[in-house]
Amino acid sequence: MTADVIDGRAVAKQLADEVRGELAELAARGVTCGLATVLVGTDYAAAAYERRLRTEADELGITYRHYFLGADSEQHTVERVVRDLGADPAVHGVLVLRPLPAHLDEGRIFQALEPAKDIESVHPENAGLLALGTPRFVPSTPAAVFHVLDGWLAEQELDPVEFYRRSTIAVVGRSSNVGRPAVSLAFQRQAVVVSCDEWASRTDRLAAQTRLGDVLIVAAGVPGLIRAEHVAPGAIVLDVGINPVTGDDGRVRLVGDVALDEVAEVARAVTPVPGGIGPVTDVWLMRNTAAAAAARLRT
C-alpha cells in the first residue's frame, strides 16, 4: 500500500481564506487583531515556529509583537511580561512558546495569562473548559490535526460522525498543549481513545498500543519513533512532531516523529513533516486570535 500523503499547505491556504473573511468582518467594526508571542531562550524548534507565526500574521494583516527573553530570565520577569500583555488592549491573543527553560515554573506562567487571551488554552480555566467539551479556544495543533482529518474524510466521501464512532484513535504523547487536548477532542467525537507516550517504547509496549488505532496521532517529540511495525494496515497517521536534526552536512532540518517512507507503505493516509500539520497549526492560531477579538466585542 502507498499512502495518500496529505498536503497540509493546501489545507492551510483554504483555512487562511476563511480567516481573512473573519478578519475583514472585524475590520469593518473597527478592530485590528493583535497577537503577541513570548519566547524564553533559544530553542530551535520554538524559534522556527515563532518565525512562521510572524510571517503568517503579516500575510493576514494581524498586528504582531514578539518578546524575546534570555534563557536565564527569572520567574517574576516572565510572569510580568505575560501579565502586561494581558492588560494591553491592543493585544487579543498571547502565546507563550514552548519549551520553557527548566528552571521556570510553567504552570505559574500559564496562570499569569489572561484567560480571554489564552489562545492555546493552557490557563487552568481554559484547559478545564476544553476537558469538559465546552472550549473557549481549541488549541491550534490538535485543532489542526482534526481539521486536516475531517477534510480528508470529506474528500473520501466518508461520514465523519459515523467514522469516529466506529474508530479507535491512538494518541502518542501526553503534553498539555497537544496530546491531552487531542484526547479530549477524540472523546468529543465519541471515538474509542488509546493514550500512550514514548515511554511505552522502553517496555516494548508501544506497537501493541499504536496498532489499535484506525487513526494514529503522534506528538511525542522523538524523531522517527513510529515505524511500519507501529501502524495497523490502512490506518490514518497524523504526524505532529517537529524535531531539529543535524545532517552529515552540518545543516539543521526539521523532521517528524514518523518514519514517513516506511509508514507510507502501510498506512492509508499520512501527513508529512514539513508541510503537513504545521502550516494548518499556524493559521489556526490566527483564527483563535480573531475569535478572541470577536469575543471581546461581545462583552
Residues 193 and 261 in one domain: yes
Pairing state of beta strands 34-40 and 93-96?
parallel
Residues 34 and 111 in one domain: yes
Tell me, what's the pLDDT at 145? Answer: 98
**Is residue 70 within 8 Å of 41, Cβ to Cβ?**
yes
Task: Return phi, psi of residue 56, to 5°.
Answer: -65, -45
Task: Return phi, psi of residue 268, to 5°.
Answer: -85, -35
CATH of the domain at 259: 3.40.50.720
C-alpha dihedral (130, 24, 66, 143), degrees to nearest 10: 30
Average confidence (pLDDT) per 10 residues, the chain, 299 residues: 92 98 97 98 92 97 97 98 98 97 97 98 96 95 98 96 97 92 96 88 86 97 95 98 88 92 97 96 98 93
Residues 150 and 271 in one domain: yes
Tell me, what's the pLDDT at 1? Answer: 59
b/e per residue 178-190 (b: at least 16 CB within 10 A): bbbbbbbbbebbe
Tell me, what's the pLDDT at 72? Answer: 97
Residues 170 and 104 in one domain: no
The answer to whether residue 131 is domain-embedded is no
How many structural domains compose the chain? 2
What is the C-alpha separation between 226 and 228, in angstroms, rounded?
7
> What are the cell numbers at 212?
489499535
Q: Model pTM greater than 0.85?
A: yes
Residues 267 and 171 in one domain: yes
Domain of residue 213 covers 140-278
Cα atoms in the 13 Å half-sphere on the side-chain side of 110: 18
Residues 161 and 77 in one domain: no
Residues 177 and 264 in one domain: yes
